[in-house]
Amino acid sequence: MALQFRELAPDLKQKINIRYASDIPLVKERYNATVVECSIEDLSEHIVRTSHEQDVKLMVYIRDNDIKAYRRAIRLGVDIVNTRYPRSFIHVLRRLTNKPPNHINRIHNKEKCLDTNPEDCEIP
């Protein structure tokens, strides 16, 4: 599908899923990717560094309401977070950075936010 987009609209910017830092330059060239997404399990300093060196935004997918995963993504410097729990994420972001949510480029919420009490988040 991504190659079809590339053929039909070569200037169209795309988001492509990756697992390894070495995928980033390849998907940038092949698909004109301007955003890459990886899971929190695949996230590494190498992926963050490579995405920034390639001038590609990095989105991390955090499936669960996982406070440790939120902290890790923030500390590693991802650009975009894809989560179903934006309230919890923003609570962690504010506690760690003392910055408003625009510190992270965008919070991508795939589904309607489930009511999560941010005060339940334990932040050391």
Query: What confidence score (pLDDT) does residue 124 get?
Result: 38
Dump pLDDT digits (tens) for 45-101.
999 999 999 999 999 999 999 999 999 999 999 999 999 999 999 999 988 887 666
Task: Please provide residue 121's backbone torsions phi and psi, each rounded to the nearest 5 degrees.
Answer: -75, 125
Domain boundaries, the chain: 2-120
Query: Residue 10 — very low, low, confident or very high, per pLDDT cuts 50/70/90?
Result: confident
pTM of the shown model: 0.76
CATH topology of domain 2-120: TIM Barrel (3.20.20)
**Pair 81, 89: CB distance under 8 Å:** yes
**Pair 20, 47: CB distance under 8 Å:** yes
Query: What confidence score (pLDDT) does residue 111 get?
Result: 39
Rounded (5°) CA angle 60-58-83: 25
